[in-house]
Structure 1
């Protein structure tokens, strides 16, 4: 019994080290994703950022719980070990929920992004919509694209006057390089601007990152499930030991 309890004890201690690292991983992952896409808030909406923020919060909680678990394992305290197991169970359910929510969001992203892109184009360069204008310029420069589906989408906006595209569409970022582009055929336009739309590239990139977020949450959740089982086994072993004393 004593040898078995020691094995569970050291196994739990090892799990706690992994938990601390997983908490750090969650904090970093959530922070990086939120920071990297904060400039695209007008396209993504608040729902996209809920998952990385939630994972970062869970990561902070895991740090505290891992410390609690280490104390319980080292001191062989049944109450602390049992509490640790219960807390892990709660965190496990939270992370599985976050993972499922991320995958559900992945299926909705196409509609959400396309809707926000089209809405943003209509408000481009309009007073009070500086954030939308900045977002469109950033995405068109970084992804070398123009418009949502194609560059001629800009012809349906107030900004274009049916002839212009933003300078951020251009192959070389020169002032007024997008003027009168919509009056030219595709071959001539291709000599000045990027013809392809931004929607497909941007949407694919976002969905891949949402899938990564969901996978991280579920993967760490599974590892914590094993730690929860170890905590309950140790608590049970400690209870039996105290009952025989």
Structure 2
């Protein structure tokens, strides 16, 4: 994306048609890839749900391996009020939280604190609130931890915020289309200006005075094409 932004910025500043075309083509490619991704996500939503479930469970296994990953999972579980991919029992996949007799961890048969239902009256976070919670019956767990999975809660969040999500996606698409149109319009203007010049001595000569409608573009294109050599303007064009 940085290369694409650089190409668009430099192409516009220097009236470089190659960079502007590069910007337009790749921005259009990104637009169609996003469109295709949206269609495929709708058609293969069951497959995406399964992949999301596998992704969350793989991160559950590695919960203690990476502090950044741990913070991300904690944030997701607290934000969406969920626990695990499909429920609290997914934490049995983690070596620290599984319920096997060989697990010596104090967190055995528990869940992370981010699965716990927070008490608004408590000022201090209880990081041990999930200890041994999965030894209880599911009905007994409901008041203490979130029992819904994050996959289902994420789907519910998308449905509840469908208008906002769709609006953001449409806004991004319109910005991309607007950028493509601006770049192509600038390319057309540059080509039109270059078409008004013909070789004349050591410089170039303007063919028709009507092209002075955009003098800034004429001079910039000329300077980028022939350097510092001044153009020879016909006397009738300056009248």
TM tier, smaller: 0.5 to 0.7
Report if aligned partners of 2:53, 2:151 keep a CA contact under 8 Å in 1. yes
Q: Is the 8 A contact 2:20 2:187 kept in 1?
A: no
Corresponding position of 2:178: 223
Pick one of 133, 146, 149 that aligns with 1:181. 133
Q: Which residue of structure 1 aligns with residue 13 of structure 2?
A: 67
Q: How does 1:13-162 map to 2 (within 5 A)?
A: 54=1, 56-69=2-15, 83=17, 86-104=18-36, 107=41, 110-125=49-64, 128-162=65-99
Which structure has more RCO (C-alpha within 8 Å, separation ≥ 6)? 1
Aligned to 1:45: none
Tell me by how many angstroms 1:95 deviates: 1.3
Shift of residue 102 of structure 1? 3.7
- Structure 2 counterpart of 1:234: 189
- Deviation by residue 1:131-160 (Cα, 9 ceiling, x = unmatched): 433332222123221111112222343222
The alignment's TM-score, normalised by the length of structure 2, stands at 0.58
In 2: Cα distance, 1:239 partner to 1:130 partner: 58
Change (3 A) 1:148 1:240: closer
Output the CA distance in 2 between the equivalents of 1:67 and 1:161: 60
Look up the SS of the partner of 1:155 in the other structure.
helix
The answer (yes or no) to whether the contact 2:117–2:146 under 8 Å persists in 1 is: yes
Provide the aligned C-alpha RMSD in A.
3.5
Stretches of structure 1 that go unaligned for 5 or more consecutive residues are 1-53, 70-79
Q: Structure 1's 233 and 103: CA in aligned 2 closer, same or farther, altered over 3 A?
A: closer
Larger deviation, residues 224-233 vs 176-185: 224-233
1:189 Cα deviation after fit:
0.9
Structure in which a larger fraction of residues adopt helix: 1
What TM-score, normalized by structure 1, do the two folds share?
Answer: 0.56
